Structure 1
Amino acid sequence: ESLATLPRDLGDWKQISQDKPLDADIEHELGTDQYVFREYADERKVGAATIQQMRDLRAAILRERIEEEAVRMEKDWTRLYSQMRMDHPESVVNLAVTYYTGMVDTVAHVPDRCVVADGYEPKPSDSDYADWKISPAGGTMRVRFINYEDQTGARRMPRSIAYFFQVNGDYEASPLDVRRKLQNLLQRHGYYAKVEVMTLLDDRNKSETVMSDFLSQVVPAVEGLLPDWQAVVRGANAPSKPVDAEALTQR
């Protein structure tokens, strides 16, 4: 199913952003037209009334035909959003899910390089990987988990980012492992999806708590939208073309 059908409500986490297509140049750089970029807020932290207020305002902006009024409402939404993040910095998570099949030029943008190019540096850590209890089967799942600090002098908020892939029915945390799996010459078809989440929290432990709680709701929902790999192996519902595994480490 389309990633756009990912539920707006994921347990206590509620979507507060509006789905919209990317600019054509950005979509071309991304390498796929199958994606969702969203922000979710924790209703337990901010309250149901705030969630509804933000959703109602976003819907009103979309309906508004007078540009000046839409701009005014957009500013109101931004003020409400900024205040919510200031009062409850642990309440908002950014989600990006991208899906690839066919001839893919590169792996989905990996923040290890993209964020650094934007002026951030990873904070020292014993490991850039973590095992979180977010598996739909009830066990742990390995994710790549990195905390970044701004190095530009602009005093931008720190970022904590975690990501992983689902490739041909299995979960992997490294692009190299994705590449190896897609190079299986015995498989005629292939796909992968990247799930990435971000918070603006400086504390690594707090970030882990927030993101793992969110992902425990996201992972089963996303998994339900991806191909049933066992059915693919049997010849049903197969992705149309194999992915180009040779380019998976270009980014």
Structure 2
Amino acid sequence: MIPRGFTNPAVWVIAAILSTGALGFTWVINAYGIHLRKLPIQAEGGRMVASIPTESESWIRVGRDRIEAPEIESELGTTNYLTRTYVRKDTRHSDRPITVEVHIAYYSGQIDTVPHVPERCFVGGGLTIGSASGVYPIPLRGSDWVEDTSAPSGMGRIVTTRLSNQYSDLPGARVRLPANPQDLRFLVTQFTGRGTDPFHVGYFFIANGRTVASAEGVRTLAFNLTDDYAYYCKVQFMSPAARNPRELAEIAGSFLDEMYGEIARTIPDWVEVQLGNYPPDNPRRRVASAEQP
């Protein structure tokens, strides 16, 4: 027996329109290579962010890495993170040592994840924003950068950097940095709290091979509709030695001059992902193989 409502011709017309629309939508998705569901992806070999060296030419770790309690890790949303303090070697025995707390957290395949940022977490913990946030350039020397012309067009400027001969477990190797490193910027905010001096925190995100200085920009980069995979990585700096955002930028730049390549090893090489070479089950590789005669 046909329900009474379905004897109305208008209902069948609407159903036909919806069905046609759904088929058309599916055709558009397939034709334009749109991927609404993102696959998780890790660095080659499953390399974790905590694997970056504890020492470089100018910086050395102070104390132990901070390991959060399980409930904090649950709130953070990842176990692939690092919170470590470094001191600049030439200042560690001075009256004013330059230290920097580096926090890195990696996420993948979570299209609905809201990045954890100090403006939310610190304020929720009782601190107050002392001054308006601003975006500042991070100065990088780039003296050892070499242009990589093998990258697909449209990816921006891709360069490789050389790892340390003395402090890397892959001495002297060259690795690709995220696109356009000459334009690296981070968002800096000053915080104050009862009984504490004002301090500055700055961070940027690496997402699908590019960088962005805001949490809002992560979705645009990491969840590009034509990408099969999605990841983002927050890189954050806090230093009591920085009296203003530009001093924090100088400290971050000094650290990244020696460690950016090591950080890049803990995220997927996006050039290899786009070429279909990584990971081994990359759908782009299957498509390329199917198109070969």
Is the shorter-chain TM-score for this pair beyond 0.5, marking a shared fold?
yes
Question: What amino acid sits opposite 1:234 in the alignment?
Answer: L
Give the whole-Å Cα distance in 2 for the aligned partners of 1:27 and 1:105: 18
1:58 aligns with none
Residue pair 1:169, 1:228 contacting (<8 A) in 2 also: yes
> Which residues of 2 match residues 234-245 of structure 1 at below 5 A?
234-238=275-279
Q: Does 1:130 align with 2:170?
A: no
Q: Does 1:222 align with 2:222?
A: no
Q: 1:162 aligns with which of 202, 206, 211?
A: 202
Taking every aligned residue pair, what percent have the same amino acid on both sides? Answer: 28
> Which residues of 2 match residues 141-180 of structure 1 at below 5 A?
141-150=184-193, 154-180=194-220
Q: Secondary structure at the match of 2:131?
A: coil
> Which residues of 2 match residues 1-251 of structure 1 at below 5 A?
1-19=47-65, 21-47=67-93, 87-88=95-96, 90-103=97-110, 106-125=113-132, 128-134=134-140, 139-150=182-193, 154-201=194-241, 203-204=243-244, 205-238=246-279
Q: Cα–Cα, structure 1 residues 239 and 186, in superposed 2: closer, same or farther, change >3 Å?
A: farther
Structure with more of its chain in helix, by fraction: 1
Q: Which has the larger radius of gyration?
A: 2
CA deviations 1:18-55 (Å, max 9, x no partner) are 236422111111111111110101110014xxxxxxxx
Q: Cα–Cα, structure 1 residues 209 and 231, in superposed 2: closer, same or farther, change >3 Å?
A: closer
Question: TM-score, with normalisation over the residues of structure 2?
Answer: 0.61
Root-mean-square deviation (Å): 2.6
Q: Cα–Cα, structure 1 residues 207 and 234, in superposed 2: closer, same or farther, change >3 Å?
A: closer
Give the whole-Å Cα distance in 2 for the aligned partners of 1:239 and 1:18: 35
Q: Cα–Cα, structure 1 residues 113 and 239, in superposed 2: closer, same or farther, change >3 Å?
A: farther
Give the whole-Å Cα distance in 2 for the aligned partners of 1:212 and 1:123: 24
Give the whole-Å Cα distance in 2 for the aligned partners of 1:13 and 1:238: 33
Residue pair 1:102, 1:239 contacting (<8 A) in 2 also: no
Q: Cα–Cα, structure 1 residues 172 and 206, in superposed 2: closer, same or farther, change >3 Å?
A: closer
User: Does 22-31 or 208-217 show the bigger shift?
Assistant: 208-217
* Unaligned segments of structure 1, at least 5 residues: 48-83, 242-251
* Unaligned segments of structure 2, at least 5 residues: 1-46, 146-180, 283-293
Question: What amino acid sits opposite 2:185 in the alignment?
Answer: R
Q: Cα–Cα, structure 1 residues 43 and 202, in superposed 2: closer, same or farther, change >3 Å?
A: closer
Residue pair 2:139, 2:249 contacting (<8 A) in 1 also: no
